[in-house]
Structures are given as C-alpha cells and as structure tokens.
Amino acid sequence: MKIQIDHKDFELMIEHEQVKKRLRLIGIQLNVAYEYSIPVFIGVLNGCFMFMADLMKEVHIASEVCFVKMASYNGDQRQEEVKSLIGLSHSLKGREVIIVEDIIDTGNTLKEVIQMVEKEEPASIAVCTLLLKPDALEHEFEELAYVGFEIENEFVVGYGLDYNGIGRNLKDIYRAV
C-alpha cells in the first residue's frame, strides 16, 4: 500500500498488528524488570505519543509518566542542534527512569535527553524505543534496553512520526520511496 504526504510518496513498512505484538513483549519485559520499583517513564514528544500511550497500556506496574519535548528535525532533514522545548517536570533523584522514544537515528536527541536526566541523579536510566536505525547512530548508548524494531536508515512516517507535521495519526508505519 502506498500513500502520499505533502507531495512525497511512502510505502507500507510495518503494519500496526506487528507493532501491537512487539509492544506486548516490551510491556512484559518492563513489568518484570521494574516489578519492585515505581519507575518514571519520560516520553520524548511529539513523536512518542502514540507509542507511549499504547506501551503504557501494557505496563501493569505502578509508574509515573511525564514528557519532554525536543526539536531535531526540519521537515525530513536532521538538524545538528537539538533544542529543548519542554523540560522535565518531575524530580528524578534516586528514581528508576525509562526514556521512551519513537525513533533513534543519529542519537543526538537521545544524548541530550540522557544528559538532562543525568543531572537529576536518577538511580538508573533505561531507553525504550519503537524504532532504531543502527546504521545512522553517531553515539553509543549503554542505556538502550528495549527496541521494538531495527530498521534501515530510511525516512519513516506514521504511528506518531511525521513529515512536515503530517502523518502522525497513521496507525501503520511507512517508509519514503
């Protein structure tokens, strides 16, 4: 199936059913790993909103949720500088923290978020991402613990990911053609 967004063509890459199955597995892993603590899930907006909402439906342990908002893209072009648009609203000192990302490509945004969280002196930091582009990574992350899908270094939309602000509402994930 192909779609067009803002004069750019995309083809189906990952169906929503595959995403749901993977989310159930990640949810089980999180429930086991954090069974005896009350972790703080920090979603990185805007892209994580659908993934985080569905993920939290699979997390059955006591937990808190908050969000940060970072800007690293202009259309389909990555920017060098990552800007913090909304910062942390919770004290994280001594807390177990899980950073929830929609996608990790270069890792520049994640690096900034981790640095922001580390300043709060948490007990631990883990990263959960729906999509990972290993070939695009410019940084190494020992915190990367939960990965939905590894994908090629392609531009993708849907399930929270956008192109020029459009396409976040699509339930499937599409790649540019």
Query: Are the C-beta atoms of 84 and 78 separated by less than 8 Å?
Result: no
Helix (H) or strand (E) holding 22: helix 16-33
Whether 105 sits among the annotated catalytic residues: the reply is: yes
Give the number of other Cβ atoms within 10 Å of residue 36's Cβ.
Answer: 7
Give 112's DSSP letter: H
Structure tokens at 18: 């595959």
Tokens 């956008």 -> residue: 162
Q: Identify the active-site residue in 105, 135, 162, 172.
A: 105
Residues assigned a catalytic role: 105
